[in-house]
Structure 1
Amino acid sequence: MNRRQFLRAGALAGVVTVGTTVVGSAGAGRVAGAGAPHRATASGTTMPNGTGTPTPTPTEAVATPTSDWEPSGSVAVPGATETVLAPDGETAFVAVGDGFAVLDLSDPTEPTVLTRETGISPPGTDRELVQAFDVKHDDGELLLAGPASYHPDSFRGVVRYDVTDPGAPELVDAVETTYPVHNCCFADGLAYLTGNDDDRNPLVVVDLAGGGEVGRWSVLDGDDRWADVDQAVRRLHDVWVQDDLAYLAYWDAGTWIVDVSDPADPTAVAGITPIDPGTFEGKSYLERYRETKEPPGNVHYVATDPAGELLAVGKETWNSNAGLEGTTPGPDDPGGPSGIDLYDVSDPTEPTELATIEPPATADPNVGGVWTTAHNFEVGERYLYSSWYEGGVKVHDLGDPTNPREVRYFRRSSTTSFWTAQLTSPGGSVVASSRYNPADLDAPAVVYTFPDVPRETPTATPADTERPPTSAPATADTETQSGNEPTGTRPGDEPAGTLPGDGTTGGDGPGFGPLAALAGLGVGAWRLLGGGDDEQ
């Protein structure tokens, strides 16, 4: 029995989850009304860290960075959010909200902007893409997704570019959806989309070459008890695909591993679920709202190492005082930033927790305070490269994944807020995008380069090692921002979130925006540009 057959057999026997017991077997998500043509350990063995991390009150100083690691270069890239790299490590592609920018990193001490593609309106529509916060690269092609949340005037979906000549990107085609696309993954001609439709919130797989949606899977297929829980706490925030497995960041519904070897028939393999669906029963509107902001849960970003044996799960949390008095966490309030959990997934049917990387300290853990919660990252062969908003950029040695060791740390909370950290090549450079300058809201976003941890001996090329397809010391900052919830003034903020219960808009969404009910429309996708199979 080969590995994939083994996984299928395990899935048919029932889904194993960490932390909760799944009622019923795993159902495969199938296409229902696809769009017209136009990609757990055994129960009780381990428990994820669901308590959050205690944080200092706003009157306490934050931690001082522990290394003299400083940027080696930088370049202004207005609107910069997610950043991905070409396999050679000399080109970066950066989502900028209204399009993407291409950076030349051949000299990491002086990165330059090669070109900037904005005002993207695919043929067949008069709408332009906005709120494009995610971008993915695979085999000379680029996929740009958006809008990150509901936007009445934006093109919704993904656009694909040929970037074999990075300085002259060419639009290949586009797929329009009836839902916003917050994040995506792109591998082997398949696009894996976060299909948050205010209902099942499925993973949607689109075959770009064949011209249509081929499959979908929802957390409700893995555990139908989540159907009774407000959909706002079980949105699909992100997806990572490697070796025929999709790793899904399902916010408070946890992390799910899904077999996508047959993209038309995705099947659950395991779930890492720190919160039981029954926890939400009887909770008030404001209690459910606060739950979308605070630990435990809030699975935001997931990625595996190149071997597919180590899984990192990042959680994005704060303290929320919505409907409460006071501004700081109390003894019965676990609010504050969360870190990155590490799991052994060498047997994906039995993920085993190994360790948790705690978040940097913050002077103000509130949603409107100093953000130091985990954001996007890359898991290399030995090192983890992570971003923490105002908490900075870190590198951890994962030689012993049960005891990750911090080896590099840059933090300048007063002037940077990092979105991601990516590696060009082993021993090369770390590329990190800072979405805004807290001290000057009119200043552009900046992409920084840092020297990587030195390697003792040469290693294989980055294409073979670190990067599977896509999918004076800084001074500690003690400034705070007043108010219980954010004011919405941070440039590049993930847009305001849907409040559980009534679909109204709040000012501090955790990475999701209000998804308008699109009456009469499904979550299908269709081709806008290109002739499908006839032109492939």
Structure 2
Amino acid sequence: MLALRGIGRTSAVVATAAALLMPAVSAQAADIPPVGEVVTSPNVSHVANVPKPAGLETTINTDIAFQGDYAYVGNYGGFSIYDISRPERTKVVSSVVCPGSQMDVSVYGDLLFTAVDNSRSDDSCNSVAQSAAVKESWEGIRIFDISDKKNPKYVKAVETNCGSHTLTLVPGKGRDRRNVYLYASSYNPSASFPDCQPPHDKISIVKVPLRDPAAAAVVATPVVFPDGGNETQPGLLLPTSGCHDITVYPEKDVAAGACMGDGVLFDISDRANPVVTARVTDPNFAFWHSATFNNTGTKVVFTDELGGGGGATCNEATGPNRGADAIFDIRNGRLDFRSYFKISRYQADTENCVAHNGSLIPVKGKDIMVQAWYQGGISVVDFTDSTNPQEIGFFERGPEPNGGGGGIWSAYYYNGYIYGSDFHHGLDVLKISDRRTDPARSVRLDRLNVQTQASYRQGHGH
């Protein structure tokens, strides 16, 4: 979700109750499920829902990471650890109240990393929101020891320029394997913010020694756009001043950056010195939000978060090419546009809906992904044919009561199940039964940080 710097952050669109009674431009009333009602395609079943734990009930859920039999769910108020050893009986193991949006999460061994892009009075879990105009304010990355799942321990805070809206974990390579790197994506600088000065246009790289995580520190701040990014295109949500999200494919030494007004490819063979190798813009994209490679690394799906996550853009008025996915083939190092994908299930004009976070479903020889669409729910998409992507399954709820914002923030496939992080309703567990996706059940993963992609083959995982 789009962030605005300072004390506050944007929230999902809120409409009045009267708006619910207005004729919908985008959908016929008969097409909209009743408030809160779950609907799915015939091949998708809703296995479980686990409400948010005490202490985090009033703040919204965000991203998810997985390791072993556990799921780690971020929340604007902290994070929770879930036991998913029996997905149909998923349960909360523990939760940590530690406010600071967005609290996107990545996990590696006994360490959990969280991103904070909300300026705070200090780096503690007792901090309060404080303007970025105050020099002493803090935002950046928090590191927790999760060796005891019932009792996580706060290890270290690392301040980064303009905070860390999202973070991407990059394992070291060769002799550097005892370290991991965190790419902190941030943006929206201001001359009034001492630690977030324009033009910014860079990322912060934090090196974490795995044997001494308390020694984590910023080791580089490479400028992605030394000559400036896309700032003048009509319809941009914000001009480029950094990246919103970066997805790495460490085995292939490549990364894809969704950078506000630009989509880019990086060479990350030198982990602390990523180099831009390709760059593209799109007149239909308002905000390059996230990226997903296919398994062979020959395609990238970029998402456009039109409306910043708060807009009702899944309607006829917005159309199929905005607030959508854009599918690119990678040819000779270039990004070649092939098509758009957007859910065709029109949502009510009170429902915030736009392309958001997703992951691959590991089917050999196919390109299939699951993706969140806020109140558009969860979509399963086959993009094997880059020019003709098709939705093959879905899950969604009817509108939130009184026109409130909400929906699924992230939807990821892990070891046979789909997990969706819902703003208000907690953690949803789904299962898809379809000949096109069934082969994925033989792929077992030890860990899944979606922004850190690894190759798969049937019967093997990473």
The superposition leaves residues 420-458 of structure 1 with CA deviations (integer Å, 9 ceiling, x where unpaired) of 101121xx110001103xxxxxxxx31100013452586
* Alignment correspondent of 1:74: 49
* Alignment correspondent of 1:311: 300
Q: CA 1:173/1:318 → structure 2, altered by over 3 Å: closer, same or farther?
A: closer
> Partners of 1:334 and 1:469 in 2: how far apart?
28
Q: CA 1:67/1:242 → structure 2, altered by over 3 Å: closer, same or farther?
A: same
Q: CA 1:457/1:247 → structure 2, altered by over 3 Å: closer, same or farther?
A: closer
Match of 2:104 among 134, 154, 165: 134
Contact 2:343 2:379 in 1 (8 A): no
> Partners of 1:384 and 1:62 in 2: how far apart?
28
Contact 2:26 2:348 in 1 (8 A): yes
Contact 1:319 1:329 in 2 (8 A): no
1:359 alignment partner, SS class: coil
Deviation at 1:271, TM superposition (A): 0.9
Q: CA 1:176/1:387 → structure 2, altered by over 3 Å: closer, same or farther?
A: same
Deviation at 1:171, TM superposition (A): 2.9
Q: How does 1:261-276 map to 2 (within 5 A)?
A: 261-275=269-283
* Alignment correspondent of 2:240: 234
The superposition leaves residues 218-262 of structure 1 with CA deviations (integer Å, 9 ceiling, x where unpaired) of 4422x54647889942142112122232321112x2211122222
Contact 1:337 1:372 in 2 (8 A): no
* Alignment correspondent of 2:262: 254
Match of 2:431 among 438, 451, 454: 451
> Partners of 2:328 and 2:361 in 1: how far apart?
14
Match of 1:424 among 407, 414, 417: 414
Contact 1:85 1:424 in 2 (8 A): no
> Partners of 1:346 and 1:163 in 2: how far apart?
41
* Alignment correspondent of 1:400: 385
Q: CA 1:328/1:434 → structure 2, altered by over 3 Å: closer, same or farther?
A: closer
Q: How does 1:182-197 map to 2 (within 5 A)?
A: 182-188=165-171, 189-196=180-187, 197=189
* Alignment correspondent of 2:25: 57
Deviation at 1:377, TM superposition (A): 0.8
TM-score (norm 1): 0.60
The superposition leaves residues 73-102 of structure 1 with CA deviations (integer Å, 9 ceiling, x where unpaired) of 0101133423323243x2110112121100
1:106 alignment partner, SS class: coil
Q: CA 1:370/1:256 → structure 2, altered by over 3 Å: closer, same or farther?
A: same
Higher mean C-alpha displacement, 449-458 vs 203-212: 449-458
Q: How does 1:173-212 map to 2 (within 5 A)?
A: 173-188=156-171, 189-196=180-187, 197-198=189-190, 199=198, 200-209=200-209, 211-212=216-217
Q: How does 1:476-495 map to 2 (within 5 A)?
A: none
> Partners of 2:112 and 2:320 in 1: how far apart?
37
Deviation at 1:114, TM superposition (A): 0.2
> Partners of 2:208 and 2:266 in 1: how far apart?
20
1:202 alignment partner, SS class: coil
> Partners of 1:467 and 1:319 in 2: how far apart?
23
Deviation at 1:390, TM superposition (A): 0.8
Letter in 1 for 2:96: E
> Partners of 2:303 and 2:356 in 1: how far apart?
7
Higher mean C-alpha displacement, 99-108 vs 196-205: 196-205
Q: Which has the higher strand share?
A: 2
Deviation at 1:148, TM superposition (A): 4.5
1:82 alignment partner, SS class: strand
> Partners of 1:313 and 1:469 in 2: how far apart?
13
Q: Per chain length, whose mean CA-contact separation is higher, i.e. which structure has more relative contact order (CA < 8 Å, sep 6+)? A: 1
Q: CA 1:270/1:62 → structure 2, altered by over 3 Å: closer, same or farther?
A: farther
Contact 1:220 1:227 in 2 (8 A): no
Match of 1:168 among 143, 151, 161: 151
Contact 1:71 1:450 in 2 (8 A): yes
* Alignment correspondent of 2:14: none
Higher mean C-alpha displacement, 389-398 vs 228-237: 228-237
Q: Number of residue pairs matched?
A: 364
Q: CA 1:75/1:208 → structure 2, altered by over 3 Å: closer, same or farther?
A: same
Q: CA 1:66/1:355 → structure 2, altered by over 3 Å: closer, same or farther?
A: farther
Letter in 2 for 1:234: T
Contact 2:247 2:292 in 1 (8 A): yes
Deviation at 1:311, TM superposition (A): 1.2
Match of 1:214 among 200, 215, 219: 219
Deviation at 1:310, TM superposition (A): 2.5
1:109 alignment partner, SS class: helix
**RMSD across aligned positions (CA):** 3.5
* Alignment correspondent of 1:521: none
Contact 2:298 2:329 in 1 (8 A): yes
* Alignment correspondent of 2:358: 377
Q: CA 1:130/1:225 → structure 2, altered by over 3 Å: closer, same or farther?
A: closer
Contact 1:108 1:429 in 2 (8 A): yes
Larger radius of gyration: 1
Q: CA 1:178/1:447 → structure 2, altered by over 3 Å: closer, same or farther?
A: same
The superposition leaves residues 391-412 of structure 1 with CA deviations (integer Å, 9 ceiling, x where unpaired) of 1111123443433332211121
Match of 2:78 among 94, 99, 106: 99
> Partners of 2:74 and 2:440 in 1: how far apart?
34
* Alignment correspondent of 1:507: none
* Alignment correspondent of 2:7: none
* Alignment correspondent of 1:281: none
Contact 2:111 2:144 in 1 (8 A): yes
Match of 1:113 among 84, 87, 92: 92
Letter in 2 for 1:206: V
2:297 alignment partner, SS class: coil
Letter in 2 for 1:70: S
The superposition leaves residues 337-396 of structure 1 with CA deviations (integer Å, 9 ceiling, x where unpaired) of 52112222364x21222332113444555xxx3222111111233421101111111112
Identity fraction in percent: 20
Q: CA 1:266/1:470 → structure 2, altered by over 3 Å: closer, same or farther?
A: closer
Q: CA 1:240/1:451 → structure 2, altered by over 3 Å: closer, same or farther?
A: same
The superposition leaves residues 461-517 of structure 1 with CA deviations (integer Å, 9 ceiling, x where unpaired) of 2249x877736xxxxxxxxxxxxxxxxxxxxxxxxxxxxxxxxxxxxxxxxxxxxxx
> Partners of 2:116 and 2:441 in 1: how far apart?
39
Q: CA 1:272/1:328 → structure 2, altered by over 3 Å: closer, same or farther?
A: closer
